[in-house]
Copies of this chain bind each other. A is one copy, B any other.
C-alpha cells in the first residue's frame, strides 16, 4: 500500500545497533593498507531495515502474488517446502571444503539428483556445477570444442543457432571462441532444413537447439536435423530451457542430442529470486563424458565423494569456486522427489494443456497466432501486428496495461523475428479461472486499443511508478546513490 520508498541511504539520523560480539580493537594492520575515507553505508536501525525492505518487497509482482505468464521463463509455483528443507541448518552450515565424510546426507542428495537428471534427459552422465543456463551452455559448447580438439578436428568452430534462439546461445558460442551461424525458421515454425544443409560442413562444430523451440512449437524434423548434423561430424546441443513442456514425454537423447543443459530454476521450480540464483546442470552422452566439468559426485565403497580434475583428466575444468549452486540443487531435488515419475509427466501434460487452452481461447477471440496451424508446446506466440497497424498500440503497451490488471506481462519482442509478439507461458500451476481472466483482460485491452488507445499507450496507471524513461536511464546513467537525493525533473 506504500507505493514509494526512499533509498535506504536517505534514512538519516539513525544509528544501527552494534551486533558483533567484540568491541572495536586496535587494527594492527599496516597503515597504508587501511581505508582512509569513511565507508558510505546506510546508518539505520533494525526496524528501519525491516520496514524498508518489507515495503520494497510489496512493490514487486511475483508468483506468490500474481499470474506471471512470462514465456521462456516457466514461472510456476515454487513450493515453500523446497526452501524450508534446503535451508535446514545442517545444510546451511556446511563449509564447501569440509571433508566429504561430514556431509554424506548432502552428497547423497546431489548424487541422486545427478542420476535423476541423467534419466530425465537420457544422458550418460550429469554434472551439476553450472550456475545457470548460460553457464551450462558454456560448459556444453566447451565440451563440444574439447571433443573436436581431442580428435585433431580443431577447425570446427562454427556453432549453428536458429534465428529464434535465445540470446545466450550465440553469446555462449562467442565466449567459447566459436563463430555463430544463424539458420532461418520456416513460416510453420520449424527449421529451414534446406538452409541448414547448405550451412553444414567440415567447419561445423555443432548446433544449439531447444525443442520445443522458443517459438512455442515442437520441431518436427528433429530426427532429420540430428542426422544431418551428425553426418557432417557435428554435435547437437540441447538448450533445456523448455524441458517443462516434454518432461517424461520424450528424452533429449532420443532426439539425437549429445549434450544438454537443464534449467533447474525453470523446469524444477527453484525460485527465480528476482534474477537468480539458477542452476544449469549439464548432461552428456558417452562421447562427451570425459570432458564434463568437475566436481561431480561419485559413489565409491558406499561413500559419496567428489570426483575432480585428478579423477577426470580430460575435464574442461571448473566453473565455480566450489561446486555450483548447492542450495538450488537441494530445492530441485526436493521438488523432483515430490513429483515422482508420474508427477513429472503430469507437469508436461498440464503445462501443455494450459498453453493450448489459452491459445485456443485467444484464437477464438480473434487474436492472431504466430503459428496458427500448430499445437502449442507449453507456450505459444500471439502477434499483435494488426492491432498495432490499426491503432498504433504496441505489444509493449499491452504488456504494461496487463500490469494494471494485476497480471504480469508475457515476454515481449522475443523471439525477435515475430513482430509485436507476446510469448505466453502459463505453466501447469495456474488454474482455468486464472487463464479465463487473462483472456478476458486481453480482449478488454484490445477493445480499448481501438476505442481509447491512449489508455494503453500511457499504461501502467496503478503500479508504484508509471512507465519509466529507459532512454534517459541509458543516456544519463544514475547507477549508484552518491550521498544526496538528486532533484527529479517534474
Residues of A within 8 A of B (CB): 1-2, 11-14, 45-48, 50-51, 54-55, 58-59, 61, 63-66, 77, 79-80, 406, 429-433, 462-464
Contact = CB atoms under 8 A, between A and B. Distances in A.
Contacts of A80: 50
Contacts of A12: 433
24 contacts: A1-B58, A1-B65, A1-B406, A1-B462, A11-B431, A13-B431, A13-B432, A14-B433, A45-B77, A45-B429, A46-B77, A47-B63, A47-B77, A47-B429, A47-B430, A50-B64, A50-B77, A50-B80, A51-B63, A54-B64, A54-B65, A55-B65, A58-B58, A58-B65
Give 7 nearest A-B pairs by CB, closest first.
A47-B77, A54-B64, A14-B431, A47-B429, A2-B406, A50-B64, A54-B65
Nearest to A57: B58
Contacts of A59: 1
Contacts of A79: 46
- Looking at chain A's contact residues, is the secondary structure mostly helix, strand, loop, or mixed? loop
Contacts of A430: 47
B11 A433 contact: yes
Contacts of A64: 50-51, 54
Contacts of A63: 47, 51
A338 B66 CA distance: 39
Contact of A51 (B48, B54, B65, B432): B65
A90 B406 CA distance: 41
Contacts of A13: 431-433
Contacts of A45: 77, 429, 431
Nearest to A88: B89
A343 to B, nearest CB: 10
Contacts of A462: 1
Q: Most B CB atoms within 10 A — which of A1, A12, A61, A433?
A: A1
B11 A463 contact: no
A239 B430 CA distance: 52
Q: Most B CB atoms within 10 A — which of A80, A406, A462, A463?
A: A406
Contacts of A47: 63, 77, 429-430
A11 B430 CA distance: 12
A77 B45 CA distance: 10
A45 B77 CA distance: 10
Contacts of A406: 1-2
Nearest to A430: B47
Contacts of A55: 65
Contacts of A61: 1
A42 B433 CA distance: 15
Given A14-B431, A50-B64, A54-B65, 4 more contacts: A1-B58, A1-B406, A47-B429, A48-B431
A442 to B, nearest CB: 19
Nearest to A59: B1
B77 A463 contact: no
A465 to B, nearest CB: 11
